[in-house]
Amino acid sequence: MKVIERFWLSFCFFLLYAPILFLVVYSFNQGETMQTFDGFSWQHYQELWADTRLLQIVLNTILLALLSSLIATVIGTIGALAIFRTQRKLLKQSLLSLNNVLLVSPDVIIGAAFLILMTALGLKMGFLTVLMAHVAFSIPIVVLMVLPKLQEMNQDLALAASDLGAKPTEVLTKVTLPVISSGIFAGFFMALTYSLDDFAVTFFVTGNGFSTLAVEVYSRARQGVSLEINALSTLMLFLAFVLVLAYYAYSQKKQGQKTKLKEKVK
Amino acid sequence: MAAEKILEFKQVALSFGETEVLKNIDLSLDSGQFYTLLGPSGSGKSTILKLISGQLQPSSGQVIFDGQVINDLPAERRRVNTVFQNYSLFPNMNVYDNVAFGPRLKKMSEATIEEKVKEMLGLVKLSGYENREINELSGGQQQRVAIARALANDPELLLLDEPLSALDYKLRKVLQTELRTIQRRLGITFVFVTHDQEEALAMSDWIFVMNDGVIQQQGSPEDIYDEPVNHFVADFIGESNIVPGIMKEDYLVHFVGKDFDNRDAGMRPNEAVEVVLRPEDLDLTTPEAGKLVVTIKNQSFRGDYYEIMAQDDDLNLWQVQATNPAEIGSRVGLTFDPEDIHIMRYNESEEDFDARLEAYEDDETPTDPSDSADKVPEVFDHE
């Protein structure tokens, strides 16, 4: 039984990682295609380094993701607070449903809708329109991550704070927001990943002179994927691994501190 | 020493839609006293606390604090602090920051704050716990932090909303004593809410017994226990045997088919009344010597006494607390003294009750809660 379990698990992971591994291996290919492996070389990494347009787009994408998720986190958190404080049940349910509809509706529809709206408004397609669209589709994600934290929170905490002399704004900044901070961070990072890999919405609302990585890779892929993209993907994958490992190490350390303290208490 | 009146309710009522939660409450608290609001859940005792703290506003009437009407003053501007039932400590702060929360809002210097926090943690016996996280503390320790946090704000009035109900029996006893000590040391007025009559009797200078949004009776623990004004109070505070009777004349009551001498008076001749006999006032004796003859039905051992249920020939059940066991099924006598009999008239208001007691007891006892507002209830030591 154990052997079969192990085998199955390994098989699944192999399936998941095989295409990525394939991509990584060919990023070191001496040749220009993914048909045959002609020998090891760094040449595609050098090409990538020289491709300032692509690097510019990477920076654009990151900047866009950071900015849009930051704005979405602020708006989404305020929205979650507002929904949470809504007294009337029907209104509250409706607001929540409207939020969830945005979350599940296909990107293509959201993208098309934004295109129509922005054309109607006479906006010039570019960074600003993409940013607005990204903020818009990130807000429901943030709301969805923050709202459960508010519901989990002991409602007497706010009462206790005002009882101790905190004005409503102080209750919010000193108690409510810190208590729900894990939800706010989760919302921010979810929004960040959504923004980083969004293709459909961006494709609709971007214009001349501004492009994100997903859109750029797509347009290049139509002429056959250059191995430069493999090199870039490998680097980003590496970065992702480092981040995951760093987070793991951080949480282990925190866990360790907690248990140590617990022992001390005993 | 003339105590100052710190808080007053004048005809305070509160209703949510059709539901009347409080009905025209009048009460008055003197500074430096330990008050308890005692009643079953839903009696309105926590509502009174919320009206004092500012979480709720009365539908009508006046809440007066230090001579000023504070009906609409927001909670953060009242010099009143609350210890919550579920502690409600801020999980994002450690012990020190929790206690320092109030003083920091007042923009005190960090040195003053540190001194204050140290003093308060010392008061609740948690010195050295400054850097602990809240989730590392036991329930009892959390409640101590909650008390320190509320006291660090220098309230004139401390409200305690069933603060000990989540703790185990032993810990509850310890904290009862400590709370009483802290209250005496600081001289702050405490308003303690509980449904535990034992806790109320042990801690309070003055008790308000509540039911159905009305104060049923108020007085010192002794008054409440010895002279319950009605069936509810007699039944809720301590154990009681309550039987119907007839007050034939002053100092002569008729119940379970016999006449008994007693110490109550001021009623109409042959008025129907309720008779209260506390189980600990009843003694078992031989059938010949007993004022009543009963059959022992069952008994249970309670550690420091036996709880015995006995039945008389009219099928009335009598609860008796005895130090020695009895034999089940045996016929025994029940005896009690005239002063153990307490008489309650049907539908007598607390004012009438007090006035009647005053009238026939002459200057024997100082019980007159109608002018209690201007008088310090005596501090009774129950330890």
| Test the A interface: residue of B51, B85, B88 with most A CBs within 10 Å | B88
- CB atoms < 10 A from the CB of B373, how many? 14
Mean pLDDT score, B208-224: 92
Mean pLDDT of A14-43: 88
B56 to chain A: nearest residue by CA?
A159
- Which chain A residue is nearest to residue B52, measuring alpha carbons? A163
**A167 touches B: beta carbon within 8 Å:** yes
pLDDT tens digits, residue range B21-77? Answer: 999 899 999 999 999 999 998 899 999 999 999 999 999 999 999 889 999 899 889
What does pLDDT average to over chain B? 88
The answer, yes or no, to whether residue A263 has pLDDT greater than 70, is no
Residue type, A58: V
Question: Distance (Å, rounded) from C-alpha B298 to C-alpha B325?
Answer: 10
**Parallel, antiparallel or unpaired: strands B241-249 and B271-277:** antiparallel
**pLDDT at B365 (0 to 100):** 46
Per-residue pLDDT band at B2 (split at 50, 70, 90): low
Q: Do A154 and B88 touch (CB under 8 A)?
A: yes
Residue A260 pLDDT grade (very low, low, confident, very high; cuts 50, 70, 90): low
Residues in chain A: 266
**pLDDT reported for residue B182:** 93
Residues near B136 by beta carbon (within 8 Å), at least 6 away in sequence: A261, A262, A265
Which positions in chain A touch B92 (Cβ < 8 Å)? 175, 178-179, 181
State how far residue B11 is from chain A, nearest Cα, in angstroms: 25
Residue-wise pLDDT for A182-209, tens only, equals 899 999 999 999 998 899 999 999 887 8
Give the integer Cα–Cα distance in Å for B332 and B322: 13
What is the greatest pairwise CA distance in chain B?
78
Q: Are B121 and B127 in contact (CB under 8 A)?
A: yes
Name the residue of chain B whose CA is nearest to A175's CA: B90
For residues A219-225, average pLDDT: 79
Residue of A nearest to B81 (CA): A163
Q: How far is it, in rounded angstroms, from Cα A157 to Cα B3?
A: 34
Q: Maximum distance among all alpha carbons in chain A?
A: 74
Chain A interface mutation, best of B76, B77, B120, highest count of A Cβ atoms under 10 Å: B76
* Average pLDDT over every residue of A230-249: 88
DSSP for B258-308 reads EEEE-S---S-TTEEEEEEE-GGG-EEE-TTT-SEEEEEEEEEE-SSSEEE
Average pLDDT, integer, range B347-355: 82
Is the four-CA dihedral A87, A88, A90, A92 of positive or negative sign? negative
pLDDT at B250: 87
Least confident range from A58-67, A224-233, B98-107, B119-128: namely A224-233
Could you tell me if B48 and B25 are in contact, meaning their C-beta atoms sit under 8 angstroms apart?
yes
Q: Quick check: B90 and A159 CB within 8 A?
A: no
Please write the tens of the pLDDT for every residue from A50-86.
988 888 999 999 999 999 999 999 999 999 999 999 9
Determine contact: A156 vs chain B, CB below 8 A. Answer: yes
Query: Quick one: B109 exposed, middle or buried, by C-beta within 10 A (0-12, 13-18, 19+)?
Result: exposed
Q: Is A263 on the interface with B (CB under 8 A)?
A: no
Nearest to B94 by CA among B141, B154, B140, B161: B141
> Which residues from B are below 8 Å from A172, CB to CB?
none
Tell me which DSSP letter residue A173 carries: I
Tell me the mean pLDDT in the region B291-302: 90
For A128-146, write each residue's pLDDT tens digit.
999 999 999 999 999 999 9
A164:B101 CB<8 A? yes
Alpha helices in A122-199 (DSSP H): 127-152, 156-163, 168-171, 177-179, 181-196
C-alpha radius of gyration, chain B, whole number:
24
Q: DSSP letters of B113-159?
A: HHHHHHHHHHHTT-TT-TT-BGGGS-HHHHHHHHHHHHHTT--SEEE
Predicted confidence band of residue B325 (pLDDT cuts 50, 70, 90): confident
pLDDT the model gives residue B382: 43
pLDDT given at position B369: 45
* Amino acid B361: pLDDT: 65
H-state helical runs in chain B: 45-53, 95-105, 110-123, 139-151, 169-186, 197-203, 221-226, 231-236, 350-361
Weakest-pLDDT range from A32-36, A192-196, B364-368: B364-368
A44 neighbors A198 (Cβ within 8 angstroms)? no
- Cross-chain CB nearest to A178 (options B76, B92, B105): B92
| Integer Cα distance of B240 and B151 in angstroms | 38
Chain A residues in contact with B156 (beta carbon < 8 A): none
**DSSP-assigned beta bridge partners for residue B220:** none
ipTM given for this complex: 0.77
Does residue B370 register a pLDDT over 60? Answer: no
pTM exceeds 0.90: no
At residue B326, the pLDDT reads: 87
pLDDT in tens, A151-186: 999 989 999 999 999 999 999 999 999 999 989 999
Whether the CB-CB separation of B106 and B97 falls below 8 Å is answered with no
Contact yes or no for A111/A129 (Cβ under 8 A): no
Closest CA relative to residue B208, chosen from B365, B75, B49, B359: B49
Q: Does residue B78 have a pLDDT over 50?
A: yes
**Looking at residue A176, what DSSP letter applies?**
I
Mean pLDDT of the residues in chain A: 89
Beta partners for B275?
A: B243, B343
